[in-house]
Amino acid sequence: MKFDLKITDAKSKARAGVITTDHGTIETPIFMPVGTVGTVKGVHQTELKNEINPDIILGNTYHLYLRPGLDILEKAGGLHKFMNWDRNILTDSGGYQVYSLSGRRKINEEGVKFKSHIDGSMHFFTPENVMETQRIIGADIIMAFDECTPYPCDYNYAKRSMHMTHRWLSRCISHLEKVPFKYGFEQTFMPIVQGSTYKDLRQQSAEYIANSGQQANAIGGLSVGEPAEEMYAMTEVVTEILPEDKPRYLMGVGTPINILENIALGIDMFDCVMPTRNARNGMLFTAHGTINIKNKKWEDDFSPIDEMGITWVDTMYSKAYLRHLFAAKEMLGKQIASIHNLGFYVWLTREARKHILAGDFREWKDQMVKQMDNRL
Ligand code: PRF
């Protein structure tokens, strides 16, 4: 992987760059649509590629390991071939998904024992076997196995957990050296900063991660229920320390406003289930605020879903029609809303990039944050 930092904004810490991998280029800042089980939910490849047009999407080790399982993925020749996606893929390590299984998992120094959400069977993830699993899935970017602490989290737990995540990182790195790439292209490994909402822990973790000398770095453990201001404060502490010449990925963040504010703090990569999950509940993100399309007020509003027309669904269908699809519980409604929201998120980060390159990011960002805060 190669990272060219094109420009750093003069009035914020926002950056524009280009990541190059064996599956093409990724222009940063970037939003990566989430395709947990090898599908961006409800979206065909044609729409994903031609309309939403992301340079990279995400998959999840936890879900793919449980289903379809490693045998099938290996026989398919990896996830790219299995789902017929020839651009970049990043897989999360399962650290966060296992954390979300609270009550159905046990964490110790060796790894995490957990109960499958599918059939209740028991499994054990370790830093070593998760690296092997990510080799088999075959994404372009693979993540360290970490523990994401909940919020709030007491200081001593956060500190012990952070140190364990650091020890797990060493195990990930030494194991990866023993397991070669499987499919003829390179995989970039990303370590993850933890440390909950404690400034000193975040600093310590950022230094540890920076010193591990990997080609890109990630920040985890945020957007887990803490106030946005606390998230921004932690991002700022960490981006001060992480090397400038390597991409920075803030995991699982967030609302369109969260994304712009974190771009301003020096983050390059984002992912979040919000655009697809909220779409399935009838929530649409637009440049002028959020819409709950189920609301009665849209019943006879025959204007386009979004006049900006970022994706074809935006001008193809009216708000009244989309509201009708949701009222009738038609699956097309969820599909249209998902395409709209993903198109908007990818557009938003592309637009941020344009403004960083043009030198007016800060002004644009402040204006967008104000606009997007509305409920329409
Ligand atoms: N760790 C991992 N994946 C994640 C997170 C984390 O802390 C988060 C936290 N927002 C989202 N996804 N491995």
Q: Which atom of ligand 1 is nearest to the CA of 94?
A: 13
pLDDT band at 21 (very low <50, low <70, confident <90, very high): very high
Say if ligand 1 is within 6 A of residue 224 CB. yes
CA distance linking residue 79 with residue 7, whole number of Å: 33
Closest alpha carbon to 287 in 340, 249, 243, 211: 340
Torsion from C-alpha of 253, 8, 238, 23, nearest 10 degrees: 60
Nearest to 57 by CA among 15, 99, 6, 92: 92
Please write the tens of the pLDDT for every residue from 74-130. 999 999 999 999 999 999 999 898 888 888 999 999 999 999 999 999 999 999 999
Mean pLDDT of 138-143: 98
Those residues whose C-beta lies under 8 Å from the C-beta of residue 75, and which sit 6 or more positions away, are none
For residue 232, report the distance from its CA to the centre of ligand 1, in Å: 16
What phi, psi does 32 have (nearest 5°)? Answer: -105, 110
Which token pair is 251? 């995991």
The C-alpha angle with vertex 96 and arms to 144 and 39, in degrees rounded to 5, equals 95
**Band of residue 327 on the pLDDT scale cut at 50, 70, 90:** very high
How far is ligand 1, taken at its centre, from the CA of residue 49, in Å?
26
* Burial (0-12, 13-18, 19+ Cβ within 10 Å), 193: buried
In this prediction, residue 364 carries a pLDDT of: 98
Among the listed residues 288, 217, 226, the one whose alpha carbon sits nearest the alpha carbon of residue 254: 226
Nearest atom of ligand 1 to the alpha carbon of 143: 13
- Does the beta carbon of 95 sit less than 6 angstroms from any atom of ligand 1? yes
The answer to whether residues 289 and 376 touch, using CB atoms and an 8 Å cutoff, is yes
Cα 166 to middle of ligand 1, angstroms: 15
User: In 10 A of CB 364, how many CB atoms?
Assistant: 16
C-beta 138 within 6 A of ligand 1: no
Determine if ligand 1 sits within 6 Å of the CB of residue 204: no
Q: Quick one: which atom of ligand 1 is closest to the CA of 221?
A: 7
| All residues at 6 or more sequence positions from 319 whose CB lies less than 8 Å from its CB, including other chains | 291, 293, 298, 301, 302, 303, 304, 305
- Residue 321 to residue 302: CA distance in whole angstroms: 7
9 in a known ligand binding site:
no
The C-alpha angle with vertex 153 and arms to 150 and 154, in degrees rounded to 5, equals: 160
What are the pLDDT digits (tens) for 208-248?
999 999 999 999 999 999 999 999 999 999 999 999 999 99
Q: Does residue 307 register a pLDDT over 90?
A: yes
Cis peptide before 17 (omega within 30 of 0): no
- Encoded amino acid at 74, one letter: E
pLDDT at residue number 99: 84
**What is the predicted pLDDT for the residue at 87?**
98
Segment 314-343 shows an average pLDDT of 98
* pLDDT score, position 95: 84
Rounded Cα distance between 75 and 364, Å, is: 48
CA pseudo-torsion sign 76, 82, 84, 85: negative
Q: How far is the CA of 95 from the centre of ligand 1 (A)?
A: 7
